Amino acid sequence: MLRCPVRFRQHETGVLVGRDDLARPLRTANPEAAEALAAGLAQRPAEPGAPVAVRLATAVEGALARGKRTDRGTVARSLGMSGKTLARRLATEGCLFRDVVDEVRRGLGERLLGQELYLAEVAGRVGFADPGAFGKAFRRWFGEPPSAFRARRKRPF
């Protein structure tokens, strides 16, 4: 099926895909199915022994998928700790709450712009009150406005 060597009894199970192959648009892509799968994965709790930043990112993505708040206190409670404890644990990992949330929003925004959604809807799903604030953050993340990013991604190779 994949026309590649298969190795059994390995420590890890995986498939290596080249960066160029990942950048190609899928002709058979189903944006609705992709969004449903992403939301399902976001609701799956991170491993208990996972770093706090990973657990936080999972919780933030889940909250955004459900349209819930992503402030420090609310997300910390969902992780079973106070906001101050969350901040301390993130500090021991060299992370800040706002940076983790920003990275989750960045990834989600990039994924959602690949779908046929209005910019205002993408902004809302990423946790921004208005498209202007999302556009400003998007320019900071990618160096171009969302509309240019979307147009560039739709061009055939």
Domains assigned to the chain: 30-154 (1.10.10.60)
First to last CA, the chain: 25
Q: Which residues of the chain have pLDDT under 50?
A: none
CB 157 within 8 A of CB 24: yes
- From CA 55, how far away is CA 57, in angstroms rounded? 6
- From CA 71, how far away is CA 47, in angstroms rounded? 22
Prediction pTM value: 0.68
**3-state class (DSSP) for residue 50:** coil
pLDDT of residue 120: 94
